[in-house]
Structure 1
Amino acid sequence: MQAADVIVLGAGAAGMMCAIEAGRRGRKVVVLDHAKSAGEKIRISGGGRCNFTNLSTARERFLSRNPRFALSALRRFTPQDFIARVDAAGIAWHEKTLGQLFCDGKATQIVDMLLSDMRAAGVRLELGHEVLSVRRVGKFHVETDKGAYSADSLVVATGGKSIPKMGATGIGYRIAEEFGLAVTETRPALVPLTFAEQDLAALRPLSGIAVDARVSCGKTSFDESLLFTHRGLSGPVILQISSYWREGDTLSIDLARGQDVAAALKAQRSEAGRQALHNALARFLPEKLATLWVERSGLRGNLADQSNAALDRLAATVHHWQVRPVGSEGYRTAEVTLGGVDTDGLDSRTMEAKAVPGLHFIGEVVDVTGWLGGYNFQWAWSSGWAAGQVA
């Protein structure tokens, strides 16, 4: 049995941040992970450039049964705090749209920074260790396929179920339940949505086409890029709305947001009425999409042949396309898992289980899920930092 002060399960963003902070306090820390490399989700994030935070941490951009739970950690370790570490490490970065911050170079720079900080803090990293059991007999005891470990504090940073090909499992939820903590319903989030075969048959020629769209589900709307795929819809705006969409819900999609297609078509009709209707519509939509939308409308002839009512109906299908996905691509491509360890059982300042002193849950395993755009990484940094101050 190898002894430590703190055992961290998971060498992802939250786990490494927690280990660094605990190690800097002089704690003897060991990080266990079944993967061959640390920070794999960091490495693939942001198209390989890591969208490592967002300048905003507004409450409404984090989903949870208790949306206020995340605020304590987010206010105490802010995006500016993490940016300061990135700057100190000499990592160049840039801001894209909507406050999203990316590395100028490779995402592995962030992984290397965290690994360097762990080494400097005296943290021991043990990769390729499969956790077989976790129990508490005075101390916390973790049995792995390569040996046993004990510690006063145990931090669970095992992530969710998303991207199982990278080794994601539900072990963190099982550990929570074994210690009597509740786990809320989990499901894939920030994930492409899929169509029924009959809908795909008509839309498949659009695969690969992107438009700037507004997508709404109930009272929630997002404005970003939408991508038609061979299975349904993807792109940032779809990933965002997927966290709010549930099976059976209908999406309302504006394929030409910010434009008045009906008014523009009527104006064109008086100036260039002899052009084909799909060519007129192609001023607002990609050509293939415009052609298909005119075909679906059943309209025939040139622009001059269309009545005001006909153009209004066509524009309505552009601005208010109603579609009901049948599902999502699931955990296979989901960027995060929605739901997790119920925050009612955790202390928001320390991430410690209220009923189990010394047991902490951080990062994606907790029922806190951010929007697309760096929010989930900031939650990982903030929750990991918070636990690292006390574990």
Structure 2
Amino acid sequence: MEKTDVVILGAGAAGMFCAIEAGRRGRRVLVIDHARAPGEKIRISGGGRCNFTNLGIAPDRFLSRNPRFALSALKRFTQWDFIARLDAEGIAWHEKTLGQLFCDGSATQIVDMLVRQMREAGVTLWLSTEPGEVRRDGGGFVVDTSRGAVSAASVVVATGGKSIPKMGASGYGYRVAESFGLPVVETRPGLVPLTFATQELDLLKPLAGIAVPARVSAGGAAFDEAVLFTHRGLSGPAILQISSYWREGMPVTLRLAQGSEVLQMLRRGRDEQARSAVRTVLAQILPERLARHLEGRAGIEGPLGAQSNATLDRLASLIGAWELRPVGTEGYRTAEVTLGGVDNDHLDARTLQARSIPGLHFIGEAVDVTGWLGGYNFQWAWSSGWAAGQVV
């Protein structure tokens, strides 16, 4: 039987970062992953440039039953710490909107950095290796794999969540937790497009391809970013963000512009452009196809000059608070993350170790910590991986 100090299950961002930290402490580390290559989510993220962190890291930008759980790791290994590591490697980066940081070049630069640093730290990497049962063995653990069993003093579960199953994502990490009696907070797709019932979708399909800035709100949260109309429903950054707060049965409200400002514009247009179609005036602030659609939704016929105050009020209110009712999401197939995970009430915030099972740690997306869109989930991976790597 293979023997080592630490087995890390998962060669993603959190797992590799944890391995580097533990290896640098002189620990014998084995990283196991079923995939043929490490860091596949890193490689495809950010359009291939990896949105590796965000300048605005704060606990209120993470969803969890206990959002403050993430604070310990995030404070001890910050976005600035990870940026310093990229700078030391000569990996150039740039800031986009809302504090999002991306590589100037390819995301493979980060994967290559992590793999090389693992090698330099003496970490062993087993790819194309299926992990199996994890069980107690005296004071340590035995991990069954397709290469045979491995004995270790510590096990770190860094297998992520269920999002993007075509890359091999599964609920394996949750099954490991439950096999040791650790509860798992309900999991569901996060940062995912929203879908609609056939009747509503048929109305929205003519808008497919339109992107527009909006304030989107649901479930007590609101985001000001782009909304994209698609053949399946709604997507775009604002929709992905709100999807983490939306639950079945909730409406989603789009504010395409301030209703009071729209009303002023329409009334002024009624005086100055009485013969114009309402959509023609709306097209000053909205795409023409969207303006036409909203004109129809408000039941407006005839030129602007023929519209009553009540009609214009109704249209302005629609633009200022357009309520739509999704029936679901596109699911794990396109979800960027998995909400929920191993219940962090049963984990030590400083070490990510299961309180009742010394030596067993859960990090990254496997834990009930989910960040906003924009580099937050990668920072949680770096921070939680670093925290566990200091103690395993």
Structure 2 residue 365 is matched with structure 1 residue 364: yes
Cα deviation 1:73-128 (Å, max 9, x = unaligned): 00000000000001111111111111110111111111111111111111111100
1:136 matched residue in structure 2 = 136
- Residues in 2 aligned to 1:79 and 1:296: alpha-carbon distance in whole angstroms: 45
Secondary structure of 2:67 counterpart: coil
2:244 matched residue in structure 1 = 243
1:75 matched residue in structure 2 = 75
- Residues in 2 aligned to 1:218 and 1:70: alpha-carbon distance in whole angstroms: 22
Measured after TM superposition, the shift of residue 156 of structure 1 is 0.3
Structure 2 residue 266 is matched with structure 1 residue 262: no
Structure-2-length-normalised TM-score: 0.98
2:325 matched residue in structure 1 = 324
Query: Is residue 23–residue 121 contact of structure 1 (8 Å, CA) maintained in 2?
Result: yes
Residue identity matched to 2:355? K
Residue identity matched to 1:219? G
- The within-5 A match list for 1:6-21 is 6-21=6-21
Measured after TM superposition, the shift of residue 256 of structure 1 is 2.5
Residue identity matched to 2:387? A
- The within-5 A match list for 1:198-237 is 198-237=199-238
**Percent of aligned pairs sharing the same letter:** 70
Query: Is residue 182–residue 341 contact of structure 1 (8 Å, CA) maintained in 2?
Result: yes
- The within-5 A match list for 1:1-391 is 1-138=1-138, 139-256=140-257, 260-391=261-392
Cα deviation 1:362-390 (Å, max 9, x = unaligned): 00000000011100000000000000000
- Residues in 2 aligned to 1:103 and 1:242: alpha-carbon distance in whole angstroms: 26
- Residues in 2 aligned to 1:256 and 1:103: alpha-carbon distance in whole angstroms: 33
Residue identity matched to 1:79? Q
Cα deviation 1:51-94 (Å, max 9, x = unaligned): 00011221110111111100000000000000000111111111
Measured after TM superposition, the shift of residue 318 of structure 1 is 1.1
Cα deviation 1:162-197 (Å, max 9, x = unaligned): 000000010100000111111111000000000000
Secondary structure of 1:212 counterpart: strand
Residue identity matched to 2:199? Q
Query: Is residue 259–residue 317 contact of structure 2 (8 Å, CA) maintained in 1?
Result: no
Measured after TM superposition, the shift of residue 306 of structure 1 is 1.4
Structure-1-length-normalised TM-score: 0.98
Measured after TM superposition, the shift of residue 259 of structure 1 is 7.6
- Residues in 1 aligned to 2:259 and 2:372: alpha-carbon distance in whole angstroms: 23
Query: Is residue 214–residue 257 contact of structure 1 (8 Å, CA) maintained in 2?
Result: no
Greater shift, 362-371 or 89-98, is seen at 89-98
Residue identity matched to 1:83? I
Measured after TM superposition, the shift of residue 133 of structure 1 is 1.4
- Residues in 2 aligned to 1:256 and 1:167: alpha-carbon distance in whole angstroms: 42
Residue identity matched to 2:35? A
Cα deviation 1:119-150 (Å, max 9, x = unaligned): 11111111000012111112211111122211
Residue identity matched to 2:244? S
Query: Is residue 237–residue 373 contact of structure 2 (8 Å, CA) maintained in 1?
Result: yes
Query: Is residue 31–residue 123 contact of structure 1 (8 Å, CA) maintained in 2?
Result: yes
Query: Is residue 270–residue 304 contact of structure 2 (8 Å, CA) maintained in 1?
Result: yes
Query: Is residue 259–residue 320 contact of structure 2 (8 Å, CA) maintained in 1?
Result: no
- Residues in 1 aligned to 2:249 and 2:124: alpha-carbon distance in whole angstroms: 48
Query: Is residue 260–residue 316 contact of structure 2 (8 Å, CA) maintained in 1?
Result: no
Measured after TM superposition, the shift of residue 268 of structure 1 is 2.0
Query: In structure 2, do the counterparts of structure 1 residues 222 and 266 end up closer, same or farther at CA, with 3 Å as the change threshold?
Result: same
Query: In structure 2, do the counterparts of structure 1 residues 137 and 243 end up closer, same or farther at CA, with 3 Å as the change threshold?
Result: same
Residue identity matched to 1:96? K
Residue identity matched to 1:18? C
- Residues in 1 aligned to 2:220 and 2:147: alpha-carbon distance in whole angstroms: 51
Measured after TM superposition, the shift of residue 252 of structure 1 is 1.2
RMSD: 1.1
Cα deviation 1:229-273 (Å, max 9, x = unaligned): 111100000010011100000111112359821111112222222
